[in-house]
């Protein structure tokens, strides 16, 4: 069975925990988009591991873990992440980089930093890891790919095309430092060494063999559907496609290779950075969720904005993300809540219009208010429960209601950060 793990909200849903769990049965794990803007936490064997780009399946021996063609790699950050894992005693011999992955150059992070610091209006609140500018160059066809680093002659030719354009933009648009060809060539030499142990020029054969041998493939998404550049709360999004469809473009496997798409969602919603968030709670309840759920960013340390579960965006995520089932995480955060709210629709305060489907023009979201239904809490510690039937009745009621609203089954319930704190619903 080949599965995709997709974030179904605005990122940080607990995807890494679910990926780590599913990776046990996978032979090949492919991270298909994004870069080190991601912060993925896995808690296993009393240790906490934080990943940014390296697939969390790396914790298991004997698995092949690919950083896919759809990703962008900040070389120094990757080097630090790989070095940190090696220090922890993690074997990276299964780690491979697709040579088609894009490289984040220093000018990309500089542009990202500049754009964010100068933007008064229209700030995105990016992670400042150069993600947007790297994807911009990729789509403008002036980006560098990992494979470029290993052919000096063609790299030199490519830089003769790219650099004049980049330098003109850096100087005239941003007023930033320009780069000489020698400077960039030296950087590229350094990057070639950083990636050398991992670059898999033979990736087509590895993928073909996996397909032929019907190996279990796990596609690991970063960010979430609502941050997708096509379907998310544009322009307050990242610059890649976290949706299930992104697993194909970012991995090199076609759609028929996918059997299941598991959307990961918290029992509430969080968001980091700017952008609309209809169920956001700017009050004590939001604060309570943030403190109990430890809602602070893995990559930037920023406090996450918190709010009630939003079935409107989530139904939209089921559709556009191609979700076949849902993993609900962090439901234990509600253990001390007497009441839990669930947003089932939006109401336009201007004319009372009710939206059950997600309105995609985010600039009118300031006129929307959530329509809530209220559920009774369970007021007991559920973090030790491992079977669905043993969950308190009110927790099961809440899950059932989510299934009804979303139209897909809840296949996994996570009741704590640890690998073990998981309930598989109707396991086969
Ligand atoms: P990701 O980016 O989607 O992989 O998620 P993050 O790692 O950014 O954030 C999820 C946080 O929630 C991490 O600190 C996880 O250890 C933690 N976590 C995951 N699942 C659960 C859960 O079911 N309960 C609780 N309390 N914490 C969880
Ligand atoms: P994981 O994989 C949460 C958000 C940023 C910002 C917007 C654009 O851990 O779920 P970018 O640096 O990508 O250009 O920033 O996207 N963002 C994330 N939010 N989790 C993430 O990753 C995110 N990656 C980017 O906060 O609002
Ligand atoms: Mg995260």
- CATH code at 348? 3.90.170.10
pLDDT tens digits along 66-123: 999 999 999 999 999 999 999 999 999 999 999 999 999 999 999 999 988 876 677 8
Same domain for 44 and 152, yes or no, is: no
pLDDT tens digits along 185-241: 999 999 999 999 999 999 999 999 999 999 999 999 999 999 999 999 999 999 999
Q: What is the pLDDT of residue 250?
A: 98
Q: What is the pLDDT of residue 297?
A: 84
Same domain for 141 and 89, yes or no, is: no
Q: Which atom of ligand 2 is nearest to the CA of 112?
A: 14
Same domain for 60 and 207, yes or no, is: yes
Q: What is the pLDDT of residue 301?
A: 84
The CA radius of gyration of the chain, in Å to the nearest whole number, is: 22
Identify the active-site residue in 20, 25, 27, 40: 40
Ligand sitting nearest the alpha carbon of 38: 2
Find out whether the beta carbon of 40 lies less than 6 Å from any atom of ligand 2. yes
Does the active-site annotation cover 12?
yes
pLDDT-based confidence at 298, cuts 50/70/90? confident
Long-range CB pairs of 75-83 (<8 Å, 24+ gap) are 75/103, 75/104, 75/190, 75/191, 75/194, 75/195, 76/194, 77/36, 77/52, 77/53, 77/129, 78/36, 78/53, 78/54, 78/194, 78/195, 79/194, 81/36, 81/51, 81/52, 81/53, 81/54, 82/54, 82/198
Ligand sitting nearest the alpha carbon of 302: 2
Same domain for 397 and 294, yes or no, is: yes
Q: Which atom of ligand 2 is nearest to the CA of 39?
A: 9
Same domain for 284 and 370, yes or no, is: yes
Q: Is 0.85 topped by the overall pTM?
A: yes
Q: Which domain holds residue 153?
A: 102-195
Same domain for 178 and 288, yes or no, is: no
In the predicted structure, residue 427 carries a pLDDT above the cut 70: no
Q: Which atom of ligand 1 is nearest to the CA of 295?
A: 11
Q: What is the pLDDT of residue 258?
A: 98
- The number of folded domains in the chain is 3
Q: What is the pLDDT of residue 56?
A: 87
CA of 16 to the centre of ligand 1 (A): 8
Does the active-site annotation cover 381?
no
Same domain for 257 and 324, yes or no, is: no
CA of 242 to the centre of ligand 3 (A): 13
Identify the active-site residue in 12, 137, 148, 332: 12
Domain-terminating residue out of 195, 211, 233: 195
Find out whether the beta carbon of 33 lies less than 6 Å from any atom of ligand 2. no
Same domain for 95 and 107, yes or no, is: no
Q: Which residue's alpha carbon is nearest to atom 12 within ligand 1?
A: 14
Q: What is the pLDDT of residue 55?
A: 94
CA of 15 to the centre of ligand 3 (A): 8
Q: Which residue's alpha carbon is nearest to atom 9 within ligand 1?
A: 12
Same domain for 415 and 297, yes or no, is: yes
Name every protein residue with a CB atom under 6 angstroms from any ligand 1 atom: 7, 11-17, 39-41, 43, 298, 329-330, 332-333, 414-417
Q: Which atom of ligand 2 is nearest to the CA of 299?
A: 9
Same domain for 292 and 398, yes or no, is: yes
pLDDT tens digits along 27-47: 999 999 999 999 999 998 889
Task: Report the 10 Å Cβ neighbour count for 91.
Answer: 13
């Amino acid at each position: 069975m080949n599965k995709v793990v997709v974030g179904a909200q605005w990122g940080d849903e607990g995807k890494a925990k679910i990926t780590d769990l599913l990776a046990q049965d996978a032979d090949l794990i492919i991270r298909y988009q994004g870069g080190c803007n991601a912060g993925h936490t896995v808690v296993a064997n009393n240790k906490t591991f934080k990943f940014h780009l390296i697939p969390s399946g790396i914790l298991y021996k004997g698995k092949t873990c690919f950083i896919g063609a759809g990703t962008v790699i900040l070389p120094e950050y990757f080097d630090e992440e790989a070095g940190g894992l090696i220090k922890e005693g993690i074997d990276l011999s299964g780690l491979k980089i697709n040579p088609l992955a894009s490289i984040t150059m220093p000018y990309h992070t500089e542009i990202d930093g500049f754009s964010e610091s100068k933007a008064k209006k229209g700030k995105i609140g990016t992670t400042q890891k150069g993600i947007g500018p790297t994807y911009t160059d990729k789509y403008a066809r002036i980006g560098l790919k990992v494979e470029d680093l290993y052919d000096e002659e063609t790299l030199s030719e490519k830089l003769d095309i790219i650099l004049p354009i980049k330098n003109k933009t850096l100087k005239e648009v941003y007023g930033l430092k320009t780069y000489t060809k020698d400077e960039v060539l030296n950087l590229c030499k350094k990057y070639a060494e950083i990636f050398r142990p991992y670059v898999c020029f033979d990736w087509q054969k590895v993928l073909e063999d996996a397909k032929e041998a019907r190996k279990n493939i796990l596609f690991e998404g970063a960010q979430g559907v609502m941050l997708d550049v096509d379907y998310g709360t544009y322009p307050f999004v990242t610059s890649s496609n976290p949706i299930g469809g992104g697993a194909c473009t970012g991995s090199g496997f076609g759609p028929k290779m996918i059997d299941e798409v598991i959307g990961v969602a918290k029992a509430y919603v969080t968001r980091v950075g700017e952008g609309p968030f209809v169920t956001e709670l700017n009050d004590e309840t939001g604060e309570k969720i943030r403190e109990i759920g430890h809602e602070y960013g893995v990559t930037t340390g920023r406090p996450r904005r918190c709010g009630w579960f939003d079935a409107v965006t989530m139904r939209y995520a089921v559709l556009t993300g191609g979700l076949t089932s849902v993993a609900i995480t962090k439901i234990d955060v509600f253990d001390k809540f007497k009441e839990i709210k669930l947003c089932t629709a939006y109401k336009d305060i201007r004319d009372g219009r009710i939206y059950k489907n997600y309105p995609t023009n985010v600039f009118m979201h300031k006129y929307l208010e959530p329509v809530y239904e209220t559920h009774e809490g369970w007021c007991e510690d559920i973090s030790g429960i491992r079977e669905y039937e043993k969950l308190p009745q009110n927790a099961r009621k809440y899950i059932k209601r989510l299934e009804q609203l979303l139209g897909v089954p809840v296949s996994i319930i996570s009741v704590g950060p640890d690998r073990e704190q998981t309930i598989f619903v109707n396991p086969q």
